[in-house]
Each structure stands twice: as C-alpha cells, then as structure tokens.
Structure 1
C-alpha cells in the first residue's frame, strides 16, 4: 500500500487475518502504518523510481490516498504491476473537473457547475444560480481544504488571484450528507454497504451514522445502485466512496474517493466485513464479503486532537473504558495537534439516539478530557 497513514494502518490489521503481509511505502518511519507494519519502505509517492523498487515482489499494489501521479500508475501497470485502482479510474478522484465532466456525461446527478478561467466566469455562473457559490480547487483538498464559499465578485477575484485552478458549483440546498460505499473486484463483482449519514463540522467529518436514520428505502437503494454503476463505469477496483448530498429532489454526487474512507470506519465492528478487508479482497480478487450490519445502530465518531495540557491520552482511554466498556477505540499513533484526526470511536446498540450520544461523549472525552 502506497501511503503510511491511518488507512494503511487499519488495512494492515485486516491483512493479518487474511494471512497476507502488507508492505507500506511511507514518507516517514513515524507515520501511522510505519509504526506497526513489519515491511516498511521509506520514499515518496511522487518518485517513480521509489515506486518501482517498492512494487518489486508485490502481488498487488494499492493506495491509502489518491495523490500518486496517474503517469506513474500507468507506467507501473505497463511494466506488469497489478496496481489498483488504475490510472484511468483514479483520475476521477484526483481531478474534480474531470470528475464532473465524466459524471455529467454518464447522466449522474451532479450540482450545476462550470470550469473557471476568470473571476468573471464565477460571476456569470452566480448570475444564473445565485450567490453564494462554491469554488473548489481542481486538485488536492480534503477535510474542508480547497473549498471556498464565495459571496460576491470581490471574493471571486481574490481567490482567482491566487492562481489556484478552480471549478465553481451551485450551493446545493441539502438536507444532510450521505455516503454510499461499494467495493469492486477486477472482474466486476461488487458489494455495497448500507448507506450512511455523515455529519460535518468545519469541513471535517465528525460522525458517521449507520444506517442513515429515516432514509427512505427507495432512496437508499438508488444511492447504492448509483455507487455500483459509477464503480463499473469508471472501472474502479477496490473501494469507492461516493459522497452525496440529500436534497428535496433526491441525491446529488458531491465527491468520489477510491480507497478506504472515513465514512466506512464504522465497518470494523459494525459490518460483517470491514471496508479494509473488503478493499484487500477486491484488489486481490477474492470473493466479496458480507456487508450487513452487526447491530441495528452503529455510530463512528472521529477523535480530534485537543489543546495541550491535562491528563494524557492513555489516561483518558483508561477512564473511558471504565465509563463505557462497550466503546471501541482506534487510535492512529499520530502526534496530537488541535483539530487533527488522531483516532475514532465506534459504538453499537439498538437505538440510534442512545448509540450516538455514547459515541459523541466518548470522542469528546478523548479530545478534551471531560464529559
């Protein structure tokens, strides 16, 4: 797996149960996965020579992020490396303009949008859909970075002046955000997880509710089918996360991710097959695992780094387990910085209200050291 973050760390855990060994290409020996994997190579994902050396002897190569240059992926594939997802697929997770163009051509539900060459392009677009509008960096950006809400021409001119390549979209009147997660094998077998609700705060996902509460069955099936259709049309191998807006008129595609995803962390305890095992099954061309829930209600809450001081994280963990023995904690081995994702908590139960309250309380305790 190229990338040494928490996604590789949790994929490593899943590989152990399958009798597999995960080699990790990490930029630092202190990265999350590098701290626990036995086979760690130090290098950068932008270095083709490092990628070639890394891939030697691997049965398959995959990623814990989408930032490997497509030219490098294509070069490795041409040399016989089984590398998933391929360059022709991952392009649509790297480049938002290409993604919007392809999804529009496929007839998928997307916001009104247009590419941007000038601030006047944004103003003209706003003239048809109304201010404010949403500007997005074509490449890069995550956890709220690379997304700007623009209220007027002056704000557009300031942003365009930075030289960032942009697209502009309508501000979607959303009810809430959803995510549909599917896995696809090289020969096209697919498996879909229950549709979940994702709760965002300052552009960062803070909670995932599985299944999405009060989601009509027909809309849930539509979202799952949309994710399956996109995985097939784009040729995805591995996990595909389709981030969605739920609106009065139905669902709209927001973003795509082609790797294990934050919206699927709940599956470790909350589904019969975790997203990390499912991703490995897909890239190794194993049959897909069962995706049903292990409890009526599952909530994952991200643990963000808090302000320095107070009791240690380990001491907070001790108190949490005493207060709620059923809470399942995953810490990523990261240095704590305010607002940084350093772990997550998953709680299972019978009612969403009770489960959600426990998960939020546990995450807050680990972040702040208080209930």
Structure 2
C-alpha cells in the first residue's frame, strides 16, 4: 500500500474509511486546511478516489486492509457507519485515533441500542419495543395502534430496512427470519427536522441552525435552512437535546439528529427523535454554500481536535435540492444549461454512475426569497433527472 504524500510542515493525514461522496466532499476543505486525506475506497473508481490521490482499494470488512490503511494516518474517521465493531475495536487496540469512537458509533449502527440509550437519557422518542416474533408485533400494535413502523436494527438507510405494517400478517416475511426487530408507533407529525452538531475530542461543540427536511419515498429531496416558522421554544429544546446527546454519547466529529415535529390542537409544538447519524449528513449539504463553515470542513476540524469554525448562515435562506438519477446518463449538457440559466446556482455532483432514483449530487441556492429559492432548486434537480427539459 502506497503511503499518502504528507504536506510540508508536519500537517496531519486524515484517513477516511469508505470512498463515497461524503469523503469526496471533504477534499476541498482539506486542501484549504493544508490537511492530507487518504481514503480506503471500495473500488478504484469510487467517488472519493476520483479526487483524492491517496485512495488504496480495500474493504471496510477486511481487518488486515483496514489496519494497514490506518497505520499511515494520524486519525481515522468514516464515510459511512457500516464498519463492524470488532474492526473498530481492533483499530483502537492498535493505538489508532478513531473518531467517532466505537462506543459512540454503535448508537448510529444499531437502532435498538440507540432507542435504549436515548430512553435512558430521557430524550423524547416514539413508543418502541424490541420484538422477535408475531406475538410481540401484534401486542405492540394492539397497544399503540395500527399501523406501526417496523425497522431492521442495522443497515437501513434512505427508507431501506423500514416498513409500515397494518397488521402482523404484513410482516410475515421479516418475522420468519427469527431476528430481532425494532417496532415503533407511527408518529403523526407536522414535518421532519434535523439538527447538525460538531463536537471535538476536547469537548468543544457547535450547532448549525435547525433545518426542515422534505422526504419523498423515504429519500430526502429538499432541505430548507433554517427551518421556516420554527417555534423558539422548540428550537431551544431541540438544540439543547442535540448537544446533550453528543456529550452523553461522547460523539466526536459531525453528528446529525433527525426529528419529527409534532403539533397539538392549540398550536403547541414538541418533538421526538427519529434517527442518529455520526458523520456528515445529507441534511447538512446546504452548509457547503450557506454557512461560514461547511459540515465537511468542520468534521475535519473536529476529528483533529482543531478549534471549530463559525457555523452562522451566510444568507437569510439556503435551499438544498438532492439530484436523483434519471434516464439520461450524460449530465454535462444539463450542467452547462443550468449554470447559464441560474448563475447563483451551486452544483455539486458526486462522480457516480447515473441510475434512476440514485443520489448523484445536490444543488444549493441562497437568498432572501424562500419561495423563489425552492422553485430554483427544484427546477435544477428536475432538469438533471430529465423530468423537465427547459
């Protein structure tokens, strides 16, 4: 394995396990911070391997490959949350600085562990239970009302590993596996929110404004930053809870808390926590153009225990639109058209092969007219997908 070429002056090497788009988007701020990145990529043409010179190919499931990679790095972090705990602990035992630590990352890897810990901390959550059979699912549904939300504890994302079931019969195929499952009440919510926190090993923390995330078929398609018309009390409560979770779980790096906002009959607002993510997150892509410090720069600062950057917004509003693949694999002509049509549009493509429904990039627009920004972001995403043609 070729060692990464270190920058002059003793600046560190940050290793990222996983060569996806999150690692790719760390490269520009790494250059600006004089930090060298190295990624353990799944393939030679992985998204991050296209832009990061030091990109040895190896699997996050291969202990020898991971250890060999980590020996050339000053600190190791992650593009995703799928590195097994035994490999994470082997890194720690070998003296590697790992952020976030295995003891924290488990709460993003295992939804049952996450629910147990948040419940212990008194953080609002949906009613939930661990089940392994039909009787357990039926009892939960009868108590809390049907339909319910059934989740696989590990491996789910973008709507995968999640199912809405109206009866125990609807889940027979999952129940037949005999594996433990997480069942939750189906929360009636007004909208989905997310809050992004960065925390360093020395305990410094910074929080970006809470955002409104719009989901389509389980995939985030739009983010409004900050969340419009957010109750001040709810904003303070969510921010405090996110900081407390980060501290209690000893999270290091960038950390996202996804929430449901619930409104009552008299206009009051409350929330429950839906998911945790311990890495730069889709809900924070707006920060690349809309915040003084992006989530990717902040993640590098945090895992290196550097002073954290300013998280204030650059403009009144930023709207992020996810770009999903369509039936047109050649994107460059669409890219040229959109840059000419909307000079204020910021386009971030991930270097991925286009497949229908696959996240292949995102766009950001900033300004003072929220309705106009939403229209511009939506048009750009639709044009890339091919659902609009002008």
Task: Tell me whether the two structures share a fold, i.e. TM-score over 0.5.
Answer: yes
Partners in 1 of 2:99 and 2:180 — Cα distance? Answer: 27
**Alignment map for 1:176-255 (pairs within 5 Å):** 176-248=191-263, 249-255=269-275
**Given the alignment of the two structures, is residue 18 of structure 1 paired with residue 33 of structure 2, yes or no?**
yes
Q: Pick from 304, 308, 313: which aligns with 2:331? A: 313
1:271 to partner: Cα distance: 0.3
Q: Which moved more, 1:258-267 or 1:66-75?
A: 66-75
Q: Pick from 66, 74, 82: which aligns with 1:51? A: 66
The residue number in structure 1 matching 2:168 is 153
**Given the alignment of the two structures, is residue 116 of structure 1 paired with residue 131 of structure 2, yes or no?**
yes
**Given the alignment of the two structures, is residue 370 of structure 1 paired with residue 385 of structure 2, yes or no?**
no
Q: What's the CA shift string for 1:174-232, capped at 9, x where partnerless?
A: 10000010000001100000000000000000000000011112211211111110000
Would you say the 8 A contact 2:133–2:178 is kept in 1?
no
Partners in 2 of 1:79 and 1:104 — Cα distance? Answer: 33
Partners in 1 of 2:62 and 2:219 — Cα distance? Answer: 30
Partners in 1 of 2:90 and 2:292 — Cα distance? Answer: 36
The residue number in structure 2 matching 1:296 is 316
Q: Pick from 164, 174, 185: which aligns with 2:189? A: 174
**Alignment map for 1:56-95 (pairs within 5 Å):** 56-95=71-110
Partners in 2 of 1:111 and 1:276 — Cα distance? Answer: 30
* Other structure's SS at 2:190 match: strand
The residue number in structure 2 matching 1:284 is 304
The residue number in structure 2 matching 1:322 is 340
**Given the alignment of the two structures, is residue 355 of structure 1 paired with residue 373 of structure 2, yes or no?**
yes
**Given the alignment of the two structures, is residue 335 of structure 1 paired with residue 327 of structure 2, yes or no?**
no
Q: Please, which runs of 5 or more residues in structure 1 have no aligned partner? A: none
1:158 to partner: Cα distance: 3.1
Partners in 1 of 2:30 and 2:259 — Cα distance? Answer: 29
Partners in 1 of 2:153 and 2:130 — Cα distance? Answer: 9
1:157 to partner: Cα distance: 2.4
Partners in 2 of 1:158 and 1:19 — Cα distance? Answer: 51
**Alignment map for 1:130-149 (pairs within 5 Å):** 130-149=145-164
How big is the alpha-carbon RMSD for the aligned residues of Structure 1 and Structure 2?
A: 1.0
TM norm structure 1: 0.98
1:303 to partner: Cα distance: 0.3
Q: What is the aligned length?
A: 369
Would you say the 8 A contact 2:328–2:385 is kept in 1?
no
TM norm structure 2: 0.93
Q: Which moved more, 1:268-277 or 1:248-257?
A: 248-257
Partners in 1 of 2:332 and 2:37 — Cα distance? Answer: 27
- Structure 1 runs (4+) greater than 4 angstroms displaced: none
Q: Please, which runs of 5 or more residues in structure 2 have no aligned partner? A: 1-15, 264-268
* Other structure's SS at 1:144 match: coil
1:164 to partner: Cα distance: 4.7
Q: Pick from 91, 108, 114: which aligns with 1:99? A: 114
* Other structure's SS at 1:54 match: helix
* Other structure's SS at 2:17 match: coil
Partners in 1 of 2:72 and 2:176 — Cα distance? Answer: 47
